[in-house]
Amino acid sequence: MVAGKPRSPRTKDAAALGDTSNGLGARLRRSRERTGMTVRGMARAIGVSPSLVSQIERGRVMPSVGTLYAISNELGLLVDDLFREADVAPPTRGARRPAAAAVRGPVQRHDTRKAIRLADGVRWELLTPEPDDELEFLYVVYDVGGASCPEDSLTRHGGKEYAYVISGRLGVRIGFEEFELGPGDSLSFDAQMPHRLWTVGRKPAVAVWAVRNRHGDARKHVVAKAGR
């Protein structure tokens, strides 16, 4: 939680839920090393500095939503891979994903789901009890001032996104259009369109989010300057 900002509308924060943020950088580093890609190669591929990639992998800083999608897409990682415990290695791109050791059942209890706190006041909580190769299903919180990427940037990736706003207000830019969503509003859009999300007003924005077939697009994730 960013200092000085109000807590999200839930009574439990990410630490209480099962925060997997601390090991995220190490998981990304190990996945990159297994592909043989260098830090400079990753930085060049996703359009950021080698210093930022290094700091993310060492746990010095958390990536933004846009940067995390860029890295995970480059490495072929599913959202479930990002939530794995630090000592469990995500599979290498193209490798067969092993079956789960034990079936957890269809229900994910609210107080045991895994969470990741990203940069700029964004938190993801995983809503699926088992890995899902086709759908990323998340409870998302944008704190006051939170955003998916810098104001002068947009992000895009494969798949289609769906969202339902529970509380607060969320700004959405898709291409050259901007929208403001409030409680009860929903949206769906092609995630290959450059887009950005941010909190509007002085209350956190909370939504249920789904991304279908994120790796279905053969093109790499890019971070594009606004207006391009």
Residue 87's pLDDT band (cuts 50, 70, 90): very low
| Helix or strand holding residue 108 (H, E) | none
Residue 91's pLDDT band (cuts 50, 70, 90): low
Name the domain count of the chain: 2
- Residue 18: pLDDT over 90: no
- Which of 33, 67, 82 is at the close of a domain? 82
What rounded mean pLDDT belongs to the chain? Answer: 83
Q: What is the CATH number of the domain that holds 34?
A: 1.10.260.40
**Cα separation, 51 vs 73, whole angstroms:** 20
Say if residues 112 and 12 touch (Cβ distance below 8 Å): no
Does the pTM exceed 0.75? Answer: yes
Domain membership flag for residue 90: no
Question: Regarding beta strands 115-118 and 122-126, do their DSSP bridges make them parallel or antiparallel, or are they unpaired?
Answer: antiparallel
Same domain, 78 and 126: no
Same domain, 70 and 146: no
Domain membership flag for residue 56: yes
Same domain, 164 and 70: no
pLDDT in tens, 111-165: 999 999 999 999 999 999 987 888 999 999 999 999 999 988 899 888 999 999 9
- Which of 62, 82, 102 is at the close of a domain? 82
* Percentage of the chain lying above the pLDDT 70 cut: 77
Same domain, 124 and 188: yes
**Out of 88-102, 122-136, 165-179, 209-223, which region has the weakest mean confidence (pLDDT)?**
88-102
- Which of 29, 57, 82 is at the close of a domain? 82
Domain hosting 161: range is 115-225
Domain membership flag for residue 160: yes
**Cα separation, 186 vs 111, whole angstroms:** 25
On the 0-12 / 13-18 / 19+ scale of CB atoms within 10 A, 107 is exposed
Q: What is the CATH number of the domain that holds 136?
A: 2.60.120.10
Domain membership flag for residue 135: yes
Domain membership flag for residue 154: yes
- Residue 195: pLDDT over 90: yes
Domain membership flag for residue 107: no
Domain membership flag for residue 64: yes
Domain membership flag for residue 37: yes
